[in-house]
Structure 1
Amino acid sequence: MSTRVDSYLSAQETNFNEIPVIDLSTLIDGTDIESVAKKIGEVCENIGFLYIVNHGVNEQLMEKVKNYTEIFFDLPLEEKQKLNIERSGETLRGYIPMFGENVDPNHTQDFKECFDYGQHEDKVSPFFGPNLMPESIEGFKQVMEEYHSEMLALANKLIGAISLSLGLPFDYFYKLQKKPISIQRLLHYPPQTGEISREKIGIGEHTDYGFLTILSQDEVGGLQVKNRDGNWISAPPMPGSFIVNIGDLVQTYTNNKYISTYHRVINTSGKERYSYPFFMDMDFDAVVEPVPTCVSDLEQSSYSPYKCGEHKFRRFVDSYAHLQIEKSA
């Protein structure tokens, strides 16, 4: 079947020069944190998306995550539905079926399915609690928990670098991340054919709700990023890399110095697409407001203070079908 994509969804095909590549080796080993932090700051100010290489995450572990992800999404729908996010209550983890989340609900239905998990806790509270794990896939739980731990460690290094780039101590944000909201997501985007319009694509255009996103993607491609000129460009897969982007919280903390960037996914490859974004936020009750180095007598704060968890939950209500049903009940 032929594929015809609406002109609104077109994007400029780019090479890796359009989205910068930053080598993290001296950040990871601690030999030259400042120069890496400066580069990250420049990208956050001018683009908001970057590739990172030499990030220290075990490649064999990443390969296991990819294999388990494909196995999970290949389960019968009735098996996946046993782990539906609706069963997790306030924890908001588990399986999200097709159209269960729509991040641009006024324009787009998201043609994707997801699985979300985080750090296990027995007590249930908003964004925290036990994970819903597939018992039928041996080893899945152990591998995914190990991967979450590695991503959390990498996120902490990157957040420290962002702090330095703002003229703040490396550990400035750590006091607001003693028990941070963190979600590891597994994503499956089926291929689309025929007439493709904005009304239904892999994931609609959106900014990320939190502080930082670290994305691993397979070789299929389909990610598009809106640059500072308002043009959509492709973010092609780069072997051995992660794509990093900042979210709404960073835009607030920096008083619009660093801008959260719009992005979307359209899978016209004819293949199944998988990706693995890790979302790092602050503590639920952490106050989000511009940091001292981003306000002055000449540049006042553009934001009133708000709490991280309340902001994130509002965005979830806007995006999740089952939360909208609960709200209207």
Structure 2
Amino acid sequence: MSNGIVAKLDDKLRAKRESFDKIPVVDIAALLDRSNEHKVAKEIRWALSNAGFMYVKNHGIPQDFVDSVFDVSRQFFDLPMSQKMELHVSKSNVALRGYIEPFGENTDPGKTKDLKECFDFGPERSTLEGPFFGPNQWPSSLPELRELTYGYHQKMVDLAKKLLRGIALSLDLSESYFERLMRNPISIQRLLHYPPQTGYIGEEIIGIGAHTDYGNLTILAQDDVGGLQVMNRHGDWVEGIPIHGTFVINIGDLLQRLTNDVYLANMHRVVNSSGRERYSLPYFIDADFNAIIEPLPSCVTDSNPLRYKPVTCGEHKFGRFAASYAHLAKA
């Protein structure tokens, strides 16, 4: 609830309220039921080549289930700090599972400290297998967190595969193209809490600093508070206003690399000047750790020459995380 104190944003943090035709809403019902996959694929291509972001509706995930996950997420972040720190991400070593305190991860460390707290988990593993693969950490005082959020994670896995089928078709590839790269993919479900900011807000401390996502695909559920900002092709920050019943979809660095910059991994950030607590549920899916990502031959032309050398998914992603987490400097 607002305390009546209005935030005053630095000019560099102001986002324009523009027509969100620029971040299009794509109805994916015809992709999911296969009644008109190519029509949806065409809309996906426009969205990802021009904005790098899209809202999707008719995605098949019940809103009341999403709301229940938001509720238990709020309960988790309301736990005493001492209980949350017992699950600190550093205790998972390179698996990167657990709690991250405010300022514990900074996505644009040269400019911004991130005023957010997170809880990360992924596919269950009994032992530490390597970067991004290891046991999840769960709070004993909130057992429903595991049941609800892990169930949500599994629904996101399924939805991501369907969206990647549409993305493959949008690139004139076989709909199963991504399956060969994703037999055991890196997959992270994150719970996020952004405290409100009041008074003067500059770039030094905001919810999350400007960044592109590191991997293939992100599926974001956001509450009704707002604060997401996306950079358009003109370099202006545009508000990603919450639209009830939708997910925000964006691609990461690896898909931009795969398409040789035909598709855009767009810069985005969060500035919570609402006076309210903000919560979101981003899900990230990438590829197998050793999957080689290199530009598609169809995306390399005389007018768009080869821009990237091959890279492995895990090497790229872990390198980006290492720049954000202090405990990984010793890993």
TM-score between the two structures when normalised by the length of structure 1: 0.97
User: Could you tell me which residue of structure 2 aligns to residue 306 of structure 1?
Assistant: 311
Aligned length: 326
User: Could you tell me which residue of structure 2 aligns to residue 91 of structure 1?
Assistant: 95
Tell me the distance in 2 between the aligned counterparts of 1:44 and 1:60.
Answer: 29
3-state SS of 1:310 partner: helix
For structure 1, the 5+ residue unaligned runs are none
Alignment of 1:273-284 (within 5 A): 273-284=278-289
Q: What's the offset of the Cα at 1:138?
A: 2.7
1:138 and 2:147 correspond: no
User: Could you tell me which residue of structure 1 aligns to residue 218 of structure 2?
Assistant: 213
3-state SS of 1:225 partner: strand
Tell me the distance in 2 between the aligned counterparts of 1:15 and 1:167.
Answer: 29
Name the aligned partner's letter for residue 235 of structure 2. G
Name the aligned partner's letter for residue 117 of structure 2. E
User: Could you tell me which residue of structure 2 aligns to residue 60 of structure 1?
Assistant: 64
Q: For each residue in 1:265-305, what CA deviation from the matched residue of structure 2 results, as whole angstroms up to 9, or x when unmatched?
A: 00011100000000010000000100122124664321110
Q: What's the offset of the Cα at 1:76?
A: 0.2
Q: For each residue in 1:179-220, what CA deviation from the matched residue of structure 2 results, as whole angstroms up to 9, or x when unmatched?
A: 000101000000001111000000000000010111000000
Q: For each residue in 1:21-64, what CA deviation from the matched residue of structure 2 results, as whole angstroms up to 9, or x when unmatched?
A: 00011111121111101110111111111100000112222111
3-state SS of 1:309 partner: helix
| 1:14–1:236 CA contact under 8 A, matched in 2 | no
Tell me the distance in 1 between the aligned counterparts of 2:267 and 2:304.
Answer: 25
Q: For each residue in 1:231-284, what CA deviation from the matched residue of structure 2 results, as whole angstroms up to 9, or x when unmatched?
A: 111011100000001110011000010111000000011100000000010000
Alignment partner for residue 148 of structure 1, among 153, 168, 182? Answer: 153
Name the aligned partner's letter for residue 33 of structure 2. D
Alignment partner for residue 297 of structure 2, among 275, 286, 292? Answer: 292
C-alpha spacing 1:139/1:296, structure 2 compared with 1 (3 Å): same
Tell me the distance in 2 between the aligned counterparts of 1:152 and 1:138.
Answer: 22
Q: For each residue in 1:47-106, what CA deviation from the matched residue of structure 2 results, as whole angstroms up to 9, or x when unmatched?
A: 111100000112222111101000000000000001100000121110000101000000
3-state SS of 1:255 partner: coil
User: Could you tell me which residue of structure 1 aligns to residue 26 of structure 2?
Assistant: 22
Tell me the distance in 2 between the aligned counterparts of 1:232 and 1:248.
Answer: 19
Q: What's the offset of the Cα at 1:15?
A: 4.3
User: Could you tell me which residue of structure 2 aligns to residue 120 of structure 1?
Assistant: 124
1:229 and 2:259 correspond: no
Tell me the distance in 2 between the aligned counterparts of 1:18 and 1:234.
Answer: 11
Tell me the distance in 1 between the aligned counterparts of 2:232 and 2:58.
Answer: 25
| 2:22–2:51 CA contact under 8 A, matched in 1 | no
User: Could you tell me which residue of structure 2 aligns to residue 173 of structure 1?
Assistant: 178
Percentage of pairs with the same residue: 50
Tell me the distance in 1 between the aligned counterparts of 2:240 and 2:305.
Answer: 34
User: Could you tell me which residue of structure 1 aligns to residue 51 of structure 2?
Assistant: 47
TM-score between the two structures when normalised by the length of structure 2: 0.96
Name the aligned partner's letter for residue 272 of structure 2. N
C-alpha spacing 1:267/1:284, structure 2 compared with 1 (3 Å): same
Name the aligned partner's letter for residue 3 of structure 1. A
3-state SS of 2:306 partner: coil
User: Could you tell me which residue of structure 2 aligns to residue 111 of structure 1?
Assistant: 115
Alignment partner for residue 82 of structure 1, among 64, 82, 86? Answer: 86
User: Could you tell me which residue of structure 2 aligns to residue 255 of structure 1?
Assistant: 260
Name the aligned partner's letter for residue 112 of structure 1. K
3-state SS of 1:319 partner: coil
Alignment partner for residue 198 of structure 1, among 193, 199, 203? Answer: 203
User: Could you tell me which residue of structure 2 aligns to residue 102 of structure 1?
Assistant: 106
Tell me the distance in 1 between the aligned counterparts of 2:63 and 2:187.
Answer: 21
For structure 2, the 5+ residue unaligned runs are none
3-state SS of 2:323 partner: helix
Tell me the distance in 2 between the aligned counterparts of 1:17 and 1:96.
Answer: 35
Across the aligned residues of Structure 1 and Structure 2, the Cα RMSD in angstroms comes to 1.2
Tell me the distance in 1 between the aligned counterparts of 2:323 and 2:94.
Answer: 15
Name the aligned partner's letter for residue 245 of structure 1. N
Q: Which moved more, 1:136-145 or 1:14-23?
A: 14-23
Name the aligned partner's letter for residue 287 of structure 2. M
Name the aligned partner's letter for residue 69 of structure 1. S
| 1:100–1:322 CA contact under 8 A, matched in 2 | no
